[in-house]
Chains A and B, each alone.
Chain A
Amino acid sequence: MTSSHGSGSDGLHEQSPSPCPRGNAAPLKQSLKDSGFRADTPFRIPWPSGDAAPLKPIALRDEMWEHKVVTVTMPDDFRELLDEREQPDKELRTRLSAHFYSVGSVGIAKAADMAGMTRWEFERWLHAHGVEMPWREADLAQELSSVRKFAGE
């Protein structure tokens, strides 16, 4: 993830399908190549705190590269606040996973995986941060109808 500021864009978007309109991926790509990274080697994303993120190794091909970069454009205020956090990458990743879980885009197991936590660690985090079960009225109606079916047996 790279951050830039001052463009006044909409915040978060994936750079696809046209690769890197602002040319952000190119320096990253070059610096990775300089550091001996080969596009066909599986790699682990380095974690600021030193504790290894339990990510599955991802193999990136050169031609896929631009599509894997997510650029977050945000004002300086964000940057200053994030700099104060102990593990900004981990926090952003967890919060984003919790968001996609809470709007019902992914299930809890998948979201926990995306957050780099076990299901139970993620459950604890969600509870501590007041993230509710993504149930809608229809889910409750279905549950009550299930109860009626069993109660009638």
Chain B
Amino acid sequence: MELLKQLISEAWIPSAVFRELVLQGGGWTEAKEAREEALAGDWLSRIDIHQAGIALVGNSRLDDGEREVISLALGRKLTPIIDESLGRREADRLGLVPIGTLGLLALAKERKLIPNLGPVILEMKSRGLRFGDPLISDFLARLGERWPP
């Protein structure tokens, strides 16, 4: 969360995602942090896209959360943060530039916030990040790092 704050000046979380991740997030630390951030509303704000008058786009194979993220990004000219392949493809189709966990990590390295991503990804993988080893290896090789670190 602290890293995201250094990379992104302002973030929005649509209601469907807030419900899905934050309210049903159980005991996950990230979910608790996100809830507190969204309730404080300084850096991360909740937004109801229907109240904001933003039309819902995206095909019906995506879930409400993904569709709301894409709709919001399209309506407000923002960057959608999505890891889900299906959601990313739909965002791309609509002319958006989606970015995910790996991309944000690469930006953090680019901006010299994290010198080596390997140990960070190792830690994230132990806590639930599910990118496969060949993909991470390929990703890190392009940033001049070896995997496993």
Contacts and interface: CB of A to CB of B under 8 A. Distances in A.
A is bound by B: yes
Interface residues of B, number: 38
B138 A140 contact: yes
A81 interface: no
Contacts of A106: 61, 86
Interface stretch (A1-9, A26-34, A118-126): A118-126
Contact of A119 (B21, B106, B107): B21
Interface in A113-134: 113, 118-121, 123-124, 126-127, 131-134
B46 to A, nearest CB: 18
Interface in A130-153: 131-137, 139-140, 142-144, 146-147, 149-151
Interface of A: 104, 106-110, 113, 118-121, 123-124, 126-127, 131-137, 139-140, 142-144, 146-147, 149-151
Given A109-B63, A133-B132, A144-B139, 8 more contacts: A133-B85, A135-B131, A139-B88, A140-B138, A142-B88, A144-B103, A146-B97, A146-B98
